[in-house]
């Protein structure tokens, strides 16, 4: 049987967390065929992984640190699965979400899917959102959090984008989109990918019938270096042609929808 899902995980000193997610994946690999591409973005002692798994585990050792986009794009080039999954090292899986997610990917015009994301206390995280705008970012800066709620139909949420901690795409779609934009080193890669998918006519959905646990580090909230990366990527997105085209398309669709009402 050919590998069905290629799962790309990048470690930045997270080997202990990765040990846990690899164990989760071993349990579900009895039900679905997978491979895991683990990229070590910094040198780590991987003796802790010195065991045989029920699935192929391929390890890429970077000679220098690369960004989120480049690491996952490199993993994609060496992958063989029909589906490509981007997964953070701080994800935990209790129940196999992949059969449901693959079913969602087969819905017409759907290009990117993800499970509902919950925190360690099983509270739902805000991982499915509308595209950010300078106006709403400014409101957030002043402590006002105003988010439009994406449409939800039959357990499927239709947001503009989902968080890159867990995304699943058909291999052909990822290839058509040329993967992540390597002009982004860290942050907003997931937003930008979903934006380009939107411009090509693909929908992004979050399936609430399945979930994954995200043990979030929130480094951009506490570390000044990561805050700078976050700000840089945000501004890069807002000044991009992709963002402007998305806003234009949304305005046109808005008027088309209400003109038919």
**Residue among 126, 212, 108 at smallest CA distance from 170:** 108
Pairing of strands 57-61, 34-40: parallel
Q: Which of 22-26, 138-142, 199-203 has the lowest mean pLDDT?
A: 138-142
Distance CA 237, CA 212 (A): 27
**Residue among 119, 80, 121, 118 at smallest CA distance from 206:** 118
> Which CATH number characterizes residue 211's domain?
3.90.550.10
CB within 8 Å of 244: residues ≥ 6 apart: none
State how many domains the chain has. Answer: 1
Secondary structure of residue 83 in the 3-state scheme:
strand
For the chain, the residue count is: 261
Helix axes 189-199 and 224-238, enclosed angle (nearest 10): 20
Pairing of strands 91-92, 203-214: antiparallel
Burial of 246 (0-12, 13-18, 19+ CB in 10 A): buried
Instruction: Select the more confidently predicted residue: 128 or 254.
Output: 128
**Mean pLDDT taken over the chain:** 89
pLDDT above 50 (res 203): yes
Determine the average pLDDT of the residues in 142-168: 82
Q: What is the model's pLDDT at position 145?
A: 65
11: number of Cβ within 10 Å: 21
Q: What is the model's pLDDT at position 1?
A: 45
Is the CB of residue 71 less than 8 Å from the CB of residue 62?
yes
Confidence of residue 225 (pLDDT cuts 50, 70, 90): confident
**Residue among 14, 16, 21 at smallest CA distance from 39:** 14
Q: What is the model's pLDDT at position 134?
A: 86
Distance CA 92, CA 213 (A): 5
Instruction: Select the more confidently predicted residue: 60 or 153.
Output: 60
Distance CA 18, CA 45 (A): 12
Cα-based angle 251, 256, 260 (whole degrees, multiple of 5):
150
What is the domain range of residue 90?
Answer: 5-259
Q: What is the model's pLDDT at position 257?
A: 62
Determine the average pLDDT of the residues in 158-180: 97
């Amino acid at each position: 049987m050919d590998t069905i899902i290629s799962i790309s995980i990048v470690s930045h000193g997270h080997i202990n967390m990765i040990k846990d997610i690899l164990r989760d994946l071993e349990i579900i690999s009895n039900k679905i065929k997978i491979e895991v591409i683990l990229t070590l973005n910094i040198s780590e002692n991987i003796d802790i992984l010195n065991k045989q798994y029920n699935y192929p585990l391929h390890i890429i050792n970077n000679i220098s640190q690369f960004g989120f986009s480049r690491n996952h794009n490199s993993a994609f080039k060496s992958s063989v699965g029909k589906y490509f999954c981007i997964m953070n090292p701080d994800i935990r899986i209790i129940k196999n979400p992949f059969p449901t997610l693959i079913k969602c990917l087969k819905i017409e015009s759907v290009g990117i899917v993800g499970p509902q994301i919950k925190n360690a206390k099983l509270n739902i995280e805000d991982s499915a959102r509308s595209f950010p705008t300078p106006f709403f970012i400014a409101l957030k800066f002043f402590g006002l959090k105003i988010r439009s709620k994406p449409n939800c139909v039959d357990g499927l949420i239709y947001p503009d984008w989902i968080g890159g901690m867990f995304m699943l795409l058909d291999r052909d779609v990822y290839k058509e989109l040329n993967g992540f934009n390597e002009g982004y080193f860290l942050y907003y890669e997931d937003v930008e990918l979903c934006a380009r998918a939107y411009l090509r006519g693909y929908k992004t959905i979050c399936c609430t019938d399945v979930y994954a646990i995200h043990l979030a580090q929130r480094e951009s909230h506490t570390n000044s270096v990561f805050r700078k990366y976050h700000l840089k990527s945000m501004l890069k997105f807002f000044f991009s042609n992709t963002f402007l085209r998305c806003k234009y398309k949304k305005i046109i669709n808005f008027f088309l929808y209400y003109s038919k009402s």
